Each structure stands twice: as C-alpha cells, then as structure tokens.
C-alpha cells in the first residue's frame, strides 16, 4: 500500500477522534456553565438592594435576603476640619455571615463636574458572632471636596445622604445606648444637668418612647444643650430582632464618627450613669491631667458597680468602638485603671425623684464641691416650672 494512502487513512481517523473529543468536551463545558448560571439564579450575589438613612427612614425588612448591607449614617469632614479633612465616615449594619468587612466597597464622590471612585476602608466593629447582625464602619479620605456621595457594590449604585460632622469644640462628649421605653426620665433630667455643669455634652439616641419623654428631651435640648438623634426602629419587624444588645454598637459607632473631630475626650456610658470631675472644676482639666501626666496613656478605664468596664479616650486614639470599649486598643498606648474609691461611675437608682434632686440628695452629691452641688440643684429647680406640664403627663 502506498505511503500516501496510509497517511490519509490516519488523518481521517484522527480527525474523527478529534471531532468526537471536541464534541464531548463542548457538552461538558456547556453543562458546567449551565450549573453556574443555575447556582447564581438560586443564590443571587449579594447586592446593595436597599439604602435607607436612619435619620429619615425606618429600616425595611430583609425579605429573606441574607446578604443585604444596610446603611445607617454618614458624616463628612470638610476643609474646616484639620486632622480629618475631606474624610467620610459611614456606619452600616449587615448579617454576620455576609462578610462585608472582607468585600470591596467603592465610594463614588462628585464635585459637580466629574466623579471619582475611591476604595473605602471597611472595619468590623462587632468582634463576635453571637448576634445575627453586626456593625460595620467604613472610612475614606477624598482628594477633593464632596458634593454628592454614592456607594458602588457589585455593580449596583446607591446614593448616600451624608451629614456634616459636628464642628463645635467640646470638652467631653458622652455617648449612650438607644433609649427605649424602659428609660427613667428622672435619670436623664439629673445627668443632663450634671454634665452641663462641668462642660460635658450628652448625646442621646431616642427610639419608641412616649410623647411625654420626647417633650422632656426637647426641653432639655433648649436648656442644657444635649443632643438627641432618632434611632432606627430595628425591632419593628421580625427579621431585624437580633441586633446586638439593642443597637448599642450602632449608636456608639455613630456617636464616635459624629464627634471624633470636635471632642477633646469621649466617654461611653449608660444613660443612667455619669462621671464627675473630682480633682478639677471641669471634665477637660480632669481628663487632660490623667492623659498628660503619664506617658503612653491612651484609655481611662472606669468600672461600675457590676464590674463592667467603661472607657474614656481621646477620639484620635480609637478607630471604632464596640459597646463601651474599642475593638482594637490604641497602638503602644496603655489603659489606666481608675481607682474606684476616688474616680468612679455614679449610678442613678430608681429611688431618685424630683424631691431628692431639689434637696441635693442624689448619687455623687457628697463628692461634689458645695458650689457645684448648689448650682445643679438651683438649675433643676428653675426648670421644674418649665417642665411642670410634661411631668404631669408621666403620671
């Protein structure tokens, strides 16, 4: 048989074998592609489906989507802020299993003429996996001024309503957990006047409270200068009832972002707890003495009657907060444990009433200077006439 005939026969057989292999491989790859699309159809990729600002809207239900990212608040630091100039700080809420802290989130900022994409540094403020939903914070430093803000997540774009960060210089800001229906108005009345006496600023978060309580807080805002922010109604539906500890971390993160440029010191306490300066006449002098008299002090640690630690810090020293303390301790800075016999947390018990306050019989009164105690009592007495109708609505 001629060699040319043999070669042609081998070529035909190889062509048939090659064609058979290609046909089978193509079918195999098509089957794999089909499985991938089927998986995506059944389990869609996480997207930013709903964005609601906590100051305007209540949170919506998850609709059985376990991967949503919920926007809570955003603060922008403009040119007038020195250390945080052109920075945006955001607070989110997300299911713990979505792992948004490991995903890439892009901020789109606009100055009116063009838009620029900026990667956002994401940090998980919740260090545990006990609760179903966790708090996530994000920061991004922009190159230019901000006019419009959007977030890009998995090819989905959502507009973000941001607020200007607080720029009024404050000696100390006290951040508290959200107030629900279990708060005693007597406690708020007392601690608002105590903080006002020593140049402290009280930040409260209000949710689901009675109208009389809301009216009281509005009067305290006018007379003592406290700040009150609305808090998302996380417990208004069955899907979001596993927010950690009633939303304390969400409130603490929001408070830190709001005041981190304007506050000299920041404390995280319950709304029925308070501190008083025992060595100096103001919170600023009291805390500055501790931070500046000892090298590398980054946090002051107080303990309440239950042995729970509560922290006071410079906002510059901490990036995020969980409950009453930062997730990550300041680098190379130590914690100073405050002696409970001289520097302690005072707690307002349920026995306190208007009569006790006007007679100077309240926690911490015995440790106050006579002039300070009398000034607090005098201020409370002055306000009673303004609050009389509100007090009647509590009974």
Of residues 20 and 114, more confidently modeled: 114
Query: What average pLDDT does the segment 21-31 reach?
Result: 50
Fold for domain 170-392? Spore Coat Polysaccharide Biosynthesis Protein SpsA; Chain A (3.90.550)
Q: If DSSP codes are grouped into helix, strand and coil, which group holds residue 230?
A: strand
Position 236 pLDDT exceeds 70:
no
Q: If DSSP codes are grouped into helix, strand and coil, which group holds residue 5?
A: helix
Domains of the chain, by residue range, sit at 70-164, 170-392
Structure tokens belonging to residue 182: 């279990």
- pLDDT attached to residue 23: 46
- pLDDT attached to residue 43: 42
pLDDT band at 195 (very low <50, low <70, confident <90, very high): very high
Query: Is residue 183 packed enough to be buried (19+ CB in 10 Å), middle (13-18) or exposed (0-12)?
Result: buried
Question: For the ranges 18-22, 324-328, 354-358, which has the lowest average pLDDT?
Answer: 18-22
- pLDDT attached to residue 211: 79
Are the CB atoms for 93 and 58 separated by under 8 Å?
Answer: no
Position 337 pLDDT exceeds 50:
yes
Nearest to 335 by CA among 345, 346, 326: 326
Distance CA 145, CA 80 (A): 11
Nearest to 263 by CA among 86, 83, 124: 83
Which residues contact residue 138 at a Cβ distance below 8 angstroms, ignoring those fewer than 6 apart?
89, 90, 91, 92, 105, 107, 120, 121, 122, 123
Distance CA 23, CA 274 (A): 77
pLDDT band at 204 (very low <50, low <70, confident <90, very high): very high
- pLDDT attached to residue 116: 83
Of residues 236 and 272, more confidently modeled: 272
The structure tokens 């303390």 sit at: 325
pLDDT band at 4 (very low <50, low <70, confident <90, very high): low
Distance CA 261, CA 211 (A): 33
Q: What is the DSSP letter of 138?
A: E
For residue range 267-295, what is the model confidence (pLDDT) as tens digits? 999 989 999 998 888 999 999 998 888 87
Domains 70-164 and 170-392 share a fold: no
For residue range 353-389, what is the model confidence (pLDDT) as tens digits? 888 998 999 999 999 999 999 999 999 888 776 666 6
Query: Is residue 290 packed enough to be buried (19+ CB in 10 Å), middle (13-18) or exposed (0-12)?
Result: middle
Structure tokens belonging to residue 246: 């009633």
Whether domain 70-164 has CATH 2.40.10: no
Distance CA 393, CA 389 (A): 7
Q: Annotate 267-320 with DSSP letters as a single string.
A: EE--TTEE---SSSSSHHHHHHHHHHHSTTEEEEEEE-TT--EEEEE-GGG-S-
Greatest mean pLDDT among 28-32, 43-47, 250-254: 250-254
Position 145 pLDDT exceeds 90:
no
- Which alpha helices (H) appear in the chain, and where do they start and end? 3-42, 185-197, 211-224, 248-259, 283-293, 354-358, 370-394
Are the CB atoms for 85 and 79 separated by under 8 Å?
Answer: yes
Position 131 pLDDT exceeds 80:
yes
The proportion of the chain whose per-residue pLDDT surpasses 90, expressed as a percent, equals: 27
- pLDDT attached to residue 110: 74
Q: Are strands 334-337 and 297-303 parallel, antiparallel or unpaired?
A: parallel
Which residues contact residue 94 at a Cβ distance below 8 angstroms, ignoring those fewer than 6 apart?
68, 69, 70, 100, 133, 134, 136
- pLDDT attached to residue 267: 95
For residue range 212-233, what is the model confidence (pLDDT) as tens digits? 888 888 888 988 899 999 887 7
The proportion of the chain whose per-residue pLDDT surpasses 70, expressed as a percent, equals: 75
pLDDT band at 60 (very low <50, low <70, confident <90, very high): very low
Position 333 pLDDT exceeds 90:
no
pLDDT band at 325 (very low <50, low <70, confident <90, very high): confident
Query: What average pLDDT does the segment 12-16 reach?
Result: 51
Question: For the ranges 136-140, 260-264, 306-310, 317-321, which has the lowest average pLDDT?
Answer: 317-321
Distance CA 246, CA 243 (A): 6
Q: What is the mean pLDDT of the chain?
A: 78
């Amino acid at each position: 048989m001629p060699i040319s005939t043999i070669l042609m026969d081998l070529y035909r057989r190889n062509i048939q074998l090659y064609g058979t292999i290609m046909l089978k491989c193509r079918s195999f790859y098509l089957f794999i592609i089909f499985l991938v699309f089927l998986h995506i159809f059944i389990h869609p990729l996480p997207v930013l489906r709903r964005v609601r600002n906590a100051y305007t809207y209540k949170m919506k239900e998850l609709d059985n989507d376990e991967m949503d990212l919920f926007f809570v608040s955003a603060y922008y630091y403009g040119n007038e802020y020195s250390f945080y100039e052109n920075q945006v700080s955001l607070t989110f809420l997300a299911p713990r299993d979505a792992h948004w802290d490991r995903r890439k989130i892009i901020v789109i900022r606009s100055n009116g003429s063009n838009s620029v994409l900026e990667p956002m540094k994401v940090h998980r403020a919740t260090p545990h996996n006990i609760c179903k939903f966790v708090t996530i914070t994000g920061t991004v430093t922009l190159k230019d001024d901000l006019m419009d803000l959007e977030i890009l997540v998995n090819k989905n774009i959502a507009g973000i309503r941001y607020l200007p960060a607080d720029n009024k210089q404050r000696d100390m800001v006290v951040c508290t957990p959200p107030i629900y229906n279990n708060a005693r108005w007597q406690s708020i009345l007392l601690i608002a006047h105590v903080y006002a006496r020593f140049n402290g600023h009280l930040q409260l978060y209000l949710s689901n409270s009675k109208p009389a309580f809301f009216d009281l807080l509005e009067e305290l805002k006018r007379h003592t200068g406290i700040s009150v922010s609305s808090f998302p109604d996380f417990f208004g539906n069955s899907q979001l009832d596993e927010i950690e500890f009633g939303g304390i971390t969400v409130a603490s993160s929001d408070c830190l972002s709001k005041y981190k440029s304007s506050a000299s010191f920041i404390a995280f306490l319950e709304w029925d707890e308070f501190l008083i300066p025992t060595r100096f006449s103001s919170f600023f002098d009291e805390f500055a003495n501790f931070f500046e008299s000892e090298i590398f002090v980054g946090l002051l640690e107080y303990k309440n009657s239950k042995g729970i630690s509560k922290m006071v810090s410079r906002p510059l020293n901490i990036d995020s907060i969980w409950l009453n303390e930062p997730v990550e301790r300041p680098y190379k800075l130590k914690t100073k444990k405050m002696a409970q016999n001289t520097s302690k947390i005072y707690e307002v018990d349920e026995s306190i009433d208007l009569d006790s306050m006007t007679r100077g019989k309240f926690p911490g009164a015995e440790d106050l200077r006579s002039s300070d105690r009398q000034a607090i009592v005098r201020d409370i007495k002055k306000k009673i006439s303004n609050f009389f109708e509100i007090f009647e609505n509590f009974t």
